[in-house]
Amino acid sequence: MKPKTAEALRLEESHTQTMPWKKWGPYLSDRQWGTVREDYSPSGSAWDFLPHDRARSCAYRWGEDGIAGISDDRQLLCFAIALWNGEDPILKERLFGLTGNEGNHGEDVKEYYFYLDSTPTHSYLKALYKYPHQAYPYDQLVAENQRRSRQDPEFELLDTGIFNENRYFDVLVEYAKHSPEDILIQITVTNRGPEAKTLHLLPTLWFRNTWSWDKNTEKPSLKLCQSDTEAAIIEASHPSLGQRWLYCQGNSDRLPVHFTENETNQHRLFGIENPTPYVKDGINDAVVKGQLDRVNPKQVGTKCSADYVLNLAPHETRTIRLRLSNQSDLAPAFGSEFEGTWQTRVREANEFYQQLAPFAMSDDLRNIQRQAFAGMLWSKQYYAYSIENWLEGDPAVPPPPPERKRGRNAQWVHFDAAEILSMPDKWEYPWFAAWDLAFHTIPLALLDPGFAKAQLDAITREWYMHPNGQLPAYEWAFGDVNPPVHAWATWRVYKIEQKMNGKGDRQFLERVFQKLLLNFTWWVNRKDIHGNNVFEGGFLGLDNIGVFDRSAPLPTGGHLEQSDGTSWMAMYALNMLTIALELALENPVYEDIATKFFEHFIYISAAMSRIGMDRDELWDEEDGFFYDVLELPNGQSQRLKVRSMVGLIPLFAVTSIEPELLNRLPAFKERLEWFIQNRPNLVHSIACMETPGIGARRLLAIASQTKLRRILQKMLDETEFLSPYGIRALSKLHDEYPYVFDVNGTQFRVNYEPAESSSGLFGGNSNWRGPVWFPVNFLLIESLQKFHHYLGDEFKVECPTGSGQMMTLWEVASELSQRLIQIFAKDSMGQRPLYGGTHLFQHDPHWQNLILFYEYFHGDNGAGIGASHQTGWTGLVAKLIQQFGEYEEQQKARD
């Protein structure tokens, strides 16, 4: 075994709490404004209550945002950059974008920023922000996007021409930890344009406002200790965090440092006199408007900014260094120690990632994987939200409007979060989303199994999970329903760590399993309304590939028997079965629980093919595909023949059981054999348990070999599901043949739309009628690998359909992986499908190797669409690259 890297040793020290290497990290949000947490309106209109224009003046209640910033793990003390180009009407302190009401496809960040590097302990961090020379076109972006319809493309910042002729600054922000409490900061600014330009660079330090909500809370303070040509030193004192010092590298002249309070400007927002002239937007007014009376001449406060005025010639680069430390007497703060630590941390980051992926890989693929991992790690955020306090209000401020007690999340009074969580996208989705989080843990487990486990443990804790067993979906509506993927993620994280370390964490596995038992019971009791093992109730993220909004009452009355809902539950049962069998190896009690989930799976799977004598089956024998079934109030039923991901999700419900495992669990084996022999009416319609597979394995799956072949025939057809860039959410068949359903003269249509949906039925950026979507593609790849594990190399299918090329299921999985990876990779012309026809990203050397990880991808050309930093689940590409590299290495070894 290779010796552990320095970063791996730091991870161990962090997990054993020997050294708090993760106390400081990129835990700021990219957007705190417009969130449910900060919404105190009677109507629940979060976007309107605290928009971007108010954010600079309003002290946040629950968190903080900033550009390329860091904070401690309770987000008490924060650091980020602010910028002013001399043209903007306001400081660039936070990222701008359109709200859900303003964008023609929902919320959308309108900035260019890139997370380039991070180690798991954040001992090294790197991010890039591109800031235009000209005034930022706030009004133009809003007006043009509001003018456009859902059928039009989004109007992006590049479309304004503001980056033409490279008239912008590259602002590179890096952090390197000398020790857990001594953080080196380097900000490198390059004028990319053809003319000399001046930039105000304002590194900003501030305390999150905790004192305005409770008058018994002691207020922290910042004060200037020293300011000369060598350095400006700011002392930060907090009653619980203690003392810190920010060292700011000096200029030839004395460095100006502006101080104000992180408190609401009530005069600007509400017309009420401020108790102090020094409020949150005071530094903005001092720098942009020259109103120096808005900052405190005594140079004390709770928010401060050093003001570096950089006069940059064309293409000139300047570097500014700072240091945030728990040491008060660093002299010199920026000498050889700074430089030595900096070079060491950069080298150690490279060593960590080289050891993680030691196999041969192109520089391009290595860059993609490294940035995917960086995005995953930068997407950590301190998430605080107490529903009880949010509903009732705080003691020092007026109570919230009474309407909220009957509104959003009022049934989740127990919810009380205050920890570091992985966000889907810290601007578009700066709140945890339960099912997204499950996918995040897979690539995170490669980097830091401890953090991945902590995420799954947290979401199932009693301060998250409802007393009835439901997991909270996301803050806009905790009670919404997401696919139950947490048992799958728990098992995968357990196995990834076991592979890495030679031993899995059984205590983690058992702890989360116990909580998921409650969640599984909630599903069975609440989402199987007829008790026939067929499930319904809407599954967000897959809603827009159906005829109706499945989370709302149907226009026909009645209800839907959902192919995907039922399949997710079959998958859930198999995941729980797999975990129970592992736990049973050391505790026989779990054999009984394994039997329970085995029987659950059998009953659910049988129901997929035979709901009842008077009802249509979910499986359509003529089409060879699974569909939803609409149950009408008059007792009649009808298949909704939409060829979509709904019919592919049954493939997710698959696992094989090794003979060695069965022999070690005789009680479970006996029950399994009895069931096969004595319940032939239940097992006949699923993959046969009686036929030993390769190595005498047993298979449990909804899809028999016959059904599997028929489903794959459509899935691998390039005129249907198979895109050059993965599997589409909806068959391209519906481009020429839309599905139409008539209800009392009103037509409901499903058309193939490879990018954004033209339908506003589901709200926001409703977008699932054709694009390629990473989470379900990843699950399809895993499922094909599981089928291959049982069926072996003898089982082959045509891929693509009609090509005459026969592949094993492992080869099909590899083909899908490569198609997904090539979304990001340079093609033979040196262009990335990811960026479509965007010239700068395709050709400019300062843009073309910067990777964004979009929410989903165009079903025909692979262009990225939706949230641009959805590294959460699109970061799964890092796992695919890792798996591809390992497979290639194994093939070379065999040859």
In this predicted model, what pLDDT tens digit does every residue of 729-747 receive, in sequence order?
999 999 999 988 888 787 8
Report the candidate in 13, 852, 24, 874 with the shortest Cα–Cα distance to residue 448: 13
Q: Residue 372: what pLDDT?
A: 98
Residues 761, 749: contact at Cβ < 8 Å?
no
Residue 751 confidence (pLDDT): 86
Q: Which pLDDT does position 640 carry in this prediction?
A: 87
Average pLDDT over residues 713-731: 97
Confidence class for position 286, pLDDT limits 50, 70, 90: very high
| pLDDT band, residue 784 (cuts 50/70/90) | very high
**Residue 809 phi, psi dihedral angles, 5° rounding:** -65, -30
State residue 171 phi and psi, 5-degree precision. Answer: -115, 105
Q: What is the tens place of the pLDDT at every residue in 419-449? A: 999 999 999 999 999 999 999 999 999 999 9
Confidence of residue 159 (pLDDT cuts 50, 70, 90): very high
Sign of the four-CA dihedral 364, 369, 371, 372 = positive
Cβ–Cβ contacts within 10 Å for residue 229, how many? 11
- Taking residues 717-737, what's their average pLDDT? 95
Chain segment 663-715, per-residue pLDDT in tens: 999 999 888 888 878 877 766 656 655 566 666 788 899 998 999 999 999 99
Amino acid present at 706: T
pLDDT of 652 above 80? yes
Instruction: Identify the pLDDT of residue 860.
Output: 96
Comparing 11 with 542, the larger pLDDT belongs to 11
Question: Taking a C-beta distance cutoff of 8 angstroms, is the pair 131, 83 a contact?
Answer: yes
pLDDT tens string 269-278: 999 999 999 9
Mean pLDDT of the chain: 91
User: Does 613 score more than 50 pLDDT?
Assistant: no
Q: What integer pLDDT is reported at residue 480 of this predicted model?
A: 87
CA–CA separation, 450 and 454 (whole Å): 6
The more confidently predicted of residues 632 and 865 is: 865
How far apart, in whole angstroms, are the C-alpha atoms of residue 112 and residue 125? 18
Q: Using CA atoms in the order 426, 377, 420, 407, what is the torsion angle rounded to 10 degrees?
A: 30
Task: State phi, psi for 695 to the nearest 5 degrees.
Answer: 70, 25
Segment 515-522 mean pLDDT: 95
Q: How confident is the model at residue 561 (pLDDT cuts 50, 70, 90)?
A: confident
* Residue 776: both structure tokens together: 């379900």
- Inform me whether the pLDDT recorded for 611 exceeds 50: no
**Cα–Cα distance, 533 to 59 (Å, whole number):** 50
Mean pLDDT of 336-343: 96
Place of tokens 């499908």: 833
The label of the residue with tokens 């409020």 reads 279
Q: Give the pLDDT mean for 716-734.
A: 96
Residue 765 has pLDDT above 50, yes or no: no
- Give the pLDDT of residue 768: 62
Burial of 310 (0-12, 13-18, 19+ CB in 10 A): middle
Mean pLDDT of 357-378: 96
Q: What pLDDT does residue 770 have?
A: 83
- The pLDDT-based confidence of 531 (bands split at 50, 70, 90) is low
Q: Report d(CA 575, CA 597) in Å as an integer.
A: 9
One-letter amino acid at 107 equals: E
Return the half-sphere exposure (C-beta side, CA atoms, 13 A cut-off) of residue 29. 24
Percent of the chain with pLDDT over 90: 75
Higher per-residue pLDDT: 888 or 620: 620
Give the residue from 577, 620, 654 showing the smallest Cα distance to 813: 654
pLDDT tens per residue, range 575-608: 999 999 999 999 999 999 999 999 889 888 877 7
Q: CA-CA distance, 158 to 164, in Å (whole number)?
A: 8
Output the CA angle 331-337-339, nearest 5 degrees. Answer: 120
Tell whether the model's pLDDT for residue 337 goes beyond 50. yes
Confidence of residue 481 (pLDDT cuts 50, 70, 90): confident
Q: What is the pLDDT of residue 552?
A: 67
Q: How many CB atoms lie within 10 A of CB 505?
A: 16
pLDDT of residue 171: 98
* Interval 774-795 mean pLDDT: 95
Inter-residue contact 817 to 355 (CB < 8 Å): no
Check pLDDT > 80 for residue 539.
no
If residue 170 lies in a helix (H) or strand (E), which one and from where to where? strand 168-179
Closest C-alpha to 872, from 373, 174, 414:
373
Q: Which residues sit opposite 117 in a β-bridge?
A: 126
Residue 632: other Cβ atoms inside 10 A: 13
pLDDT bracket for residue 532 (50, 70, 90): low
